[in-house]
């Protein structure tokens, strides 16, 4: 089993006000945190897609950036992990958990997730339509792991509405399972998120 890592760092960071991947957390850029997590968790090599030192050019859509990363995957890679640069606090243990489940070999993809804790409402404008049953819902994180062939088949499936790579694999008929994620594996979206992460680190 040879695992290749892709860090997606090509986002424009519209809601943050500037590209997020190069923002520093505790003296290190977010993309470097993500790379270190993948390497220490079991990836043999990692490509960073984005405007960072040593990075490769990304695309307009997330799937285009992941495809750019896949294009430089070594020939011997059997599995790939896709991780967001904006999730700097994922641990090596989480990476290892995803890889361990992939190694079983009976699935196409593995995603980390945590149970949804808040009550969910379906709304139309300001009107609440109904309360959504959260019993079987999880909030999905990265890194997400894939068999290389399964991810390539997923990306060949024409679906611009998919919000992550696992959705592409699902819709192309692949089996996706989840492992327990981490509550502190937060995504940097707004400037205030960095303050939360600094507090978690301290």
Give pLDDT, residue 153.
95
Q: Is the pLDDT of residue 18 over 90?
A: no
Q: Kindly state the average pLDDT of the residues 89-117.
A: 97
Q: Is the pLDDT of residue 15 over 90?
A: no
Q: Kindly state the average pLDDT of the residues 97-110.
A: 96
Give pLDDT, residue 162.
82
Q: Is the pLDDT of residue 58 over 70?
A: yes
Q: Is the pLDDT of residue 19 over 80?
A: no
Q: What is the pLDDT of residues 71-93, one digit of tens each?
A: 999 999 999 999 999 999 999 99
Give pLDDT, residue 17.
63
Q: Is the pLDDT of residue 46 over 80?
A: yes
Domain 3-201 has CATH 3.90.550.10: yes
Give pLDDT, residue 13.
60
Give pLDDT, residue 167.
94
Please give, one letter per residue, the 3-state secondary structure of the chain.
CCEEEEEECCCCCCCCCCCCCCCEECCEEHHHHHHHHHHHHCCCEEEEECCCCCCECCCCCHHHHHHHHHCCCCCCCCEEEEEECCCCCCCHHHHHHHHHHHHCCCCCEEEEEEECCCCEEEEECCEEEEEECCCCCEEECCCEEEEHHHHHHHHHCCCCCCCCHHHHHHHCCCCEEEEECCCCCCCCCCHHHHHHHHHHHC
Give pLDDT, residue 144.
98
């Amino acid at each position: 089993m040879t695992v290749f890592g892709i860090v997606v760092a090509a986002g424009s960071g519209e809601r943050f006000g500037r590209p997020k991947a190069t923002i520093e957390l505790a003296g290190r850029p977010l993309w470097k945190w993500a790379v270190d997590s993948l390497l220490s968790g079991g990836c043999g090599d990692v490509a960073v897609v984005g405007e960072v030192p040593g990075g490769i050019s990304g695309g307009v859509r997330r799937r285009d950036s992941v495809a750019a990363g896949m294009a430089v995957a070594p020939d011997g890679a059997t599995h790939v992990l896709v991780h967001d640069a904006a999730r700097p606090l994922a641990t090596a243990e989480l990476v290892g958990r995803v890889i361990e489940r992939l190694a079983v070999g009976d699935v196409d993809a593995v995603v980390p997730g945590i149970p949804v804790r808040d009550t969910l409402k379906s709304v139309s404008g300001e009107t609440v339509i109904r309360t959504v049953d959260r019993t079987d819902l999880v909030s999905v994180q990265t890194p997400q792991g894939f068999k290389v062939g399964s991810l390539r088949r997923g990306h060949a499936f024409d679906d611009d509405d998919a919000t992550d790579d696992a959705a592409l694999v699902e819709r192309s008929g692949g089996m996706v399972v989840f492992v327990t994620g981490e509550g502190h594996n937060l995504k940097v979206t707004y400037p205030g998120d960095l303050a939360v992460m600094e507090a978690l680190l301290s």
